[in-house]
Structure 1
Amino acid sequence: MKILLLFGSPNLNGSSRILADNFIQGAKEAGHSVSMLDIAHANIHPCTGCLHCGYEGPCIQKDDMKQIRKQILDTDMIVFVSPLYYYGFSAQLKILIDRFCSFNTSIHQKHLKSALLSVAWNADNWTFDALESHYKTLVRYLNLGDQGMILGYGCGTPSMTSHSIYPKQAYQLGRNL
């Protein structure tokens, strides 16, 4: 299976990266082809709502989305990787998700598998409620096959994350695909 991680953290070496790297290791050991896109540092403009795309592209904007779209539609699974910023996806990843509108039908028809990897400083039991709800809505709307979520509570620093149970859980999620 071809797996594409959509890495939405502006911190390339933070806690989100620890989960991503462990997931990648497990998925590769299971025999999958895995790649990761640095969405946070890509040239992606926000959707303007102009509807030039007619909800199935091409988008009128000239940025990295043309290539990213191709990579998403050429994979079997997408993994959303994001730190929890104010109880949702990072702004960088959210911009990409908003641009899905230009190829909703194509994503829907692919029946892609998906997963979510996220970390948060907060460890309250409600910390991930809004992000989980958003992710589950994407799964339903885009006809994705959810393979699981790793939600790293209390992972405010790379050291905290490294010493938690979440890297092993991310590895197991990748390994068990």
Structure 2
Amino acid sequence: MSKQVLVISASPRKGGNSDTLCDEFIRGAEAAGNRTEKIFLCEKNIHYCTGCGYCNSAHKCSQQDDMAEILNKMVNANVIVLASPVYFYTVDGQMKTIIDRSCPRYTEIAGKEFYYILTAADNSATSLERAVSGLRGFTLDCLPGTREQGILLGTGVWEKGAVKTTSFMKQAYDMGHNI
């Protein structure tokens, strides 16, 4: 059965390591017959949450930016891939902003399948544990019925494109293909 796969790339570098793994994941997912879409967050106009509380009663954000469109796509997807480089042991600011801004409709994102793609210059997978924990706080703790389907920890990749010569490329393809 074909699924709608939404890949959210929080890389600040188009063609950066986490973004490249997103493309490889998509290649695998499409080869398996799934429909895919990638959102490259750096190309979007997304403001930080102001904590105004408007969304608690209105179920929409008071801010007028690209987040409403992204939330619609998250709600309509069967599978969501959250991809981010790891900075100072957690996801980057673009990813955290998306998580914070999901508040108006987060209950509608419940029950989805989630994959995480994380990259870091550090060679130790344990250095990415806090980032995984943060994503799990959002997906597993806040979204009932969510299923964590796969995690790719791309370590030891700093320079743009470094991931292309690693086994992480095959892992990304296989994760996408096995949806």
Q: TM-score range by the shorter chain?
A: over 0.9
**Aligned-residue offset at 1:159:** 4.2
Give the conservation status (yes or no) of the 8 Å contact 1:83–1:118. Answer: yes
Give me the whole-angstrom Cα distance separating, in 2, the residues matched to 1:159 and 1:72: 28
SS in 2 for 1:95: helix
Give the conservation status (yes or no) of the 8 Å contact 1:119–1:155. Answer: yes
Give the conservation status (yes or no) of the 8 Å contact 1:40–1:93. Answer: no
SS in 2 for 1:84: strand
User: What residue in structure 1 maps to residue 62 of structure 2?
Assistant: 60
- Which structure 2 residues correspond to residues 109-128 of structure 1 after superposition, within 5 A? 111-128=111-128
User: What residue in structure 2 maps to residue 97 of structure 1?
Assistant: 99
User: What residue in structure 2 maps to residue 34 of structure 1?
Assistant: 36
Choose the corresponding residue for 2:89, options 80, 87, 90. Answer: 87
Give the conservation status (yes or no) of the 8 Å contact 1:10–1:41. Answer: no
Give me the whole-angstrom Cα distance separating, in 2, the residues matched to 1:105 and 1:151: 27
Give me the whole-angstrom Cα distance separating, in 2, the residues matched to 1:56 and 1:38: 27
What's the TM-score, normalizing by structure 2?
Answer: 0.92
Give the superposed CA RMSD. Answer: 1.3
Structure 1 residues without counterparts, runs of 5 or longer? none
Give me the whole-angstrom Cα distance separating, in 1, the residues matched to 2:25 and 2:143: 23
Choose the corresponding residue for 2:6, options 4, 7, 11. Answer: 4
User: What residue in structure 2 maps to residue 138 of structure 1?
Assistant: 138
User: What residue in structure 1 maps to residue 149 of structure 2?
Assistant: 147
1:55/1:163 CA distance change after superposition, 3 Å: farther
Give me the whole-angstrom Cα distance separating, in 1, the residues matched to 2:57 and 2:17: 34
**Aligned-residue offset at 1:122:** 0.4
1:172/1:8 CA distance change after superposition, 3 Å: same
The C-alpha deviation readout for 1:43-85, integer Å capped at 9, x for no partner, is: 1111111111116621111111111111111111110011111
Q: After alignment, is 86-95 or 48-57 more displaced?
A: 48-57
Give me the whole-angstrom Cα distance separating, in 2, the residues matched to 1:55 and 1:85: 34
Give the aligned residue type for 2:114. S
Residue identity over aligned pairs, in percent, reads 31
Give the aligned residue type for 1:8. A
Give the conservation status (yes or no) of the 8 Å contact 2:99–2:138. Answer: no
1:128/1:60 CA distance change after superposition, 3 Å: same
What's the TM-score, normalizing by structure 1?
Answer: 0.93
Give the aligned residue type for 2:116. L
Give me the whole-angstrom Cα distance separating, in 2, the residues matched to 1:81 and 1:4: 11
**Aligned-residue offset at 1:175:** 0.7
Give me the whole-angstrom Cα distance separating, in 2, the residues matched to 1:116 and 1:63: 25
Give me the whole-angstrom Cα distance separating, in 2, the residues matched to 1:40 and 1:93: 10
Give me the whole-angstrom Cα distance separating, in 1, the residues matched to 2:74 and 2:24: 21
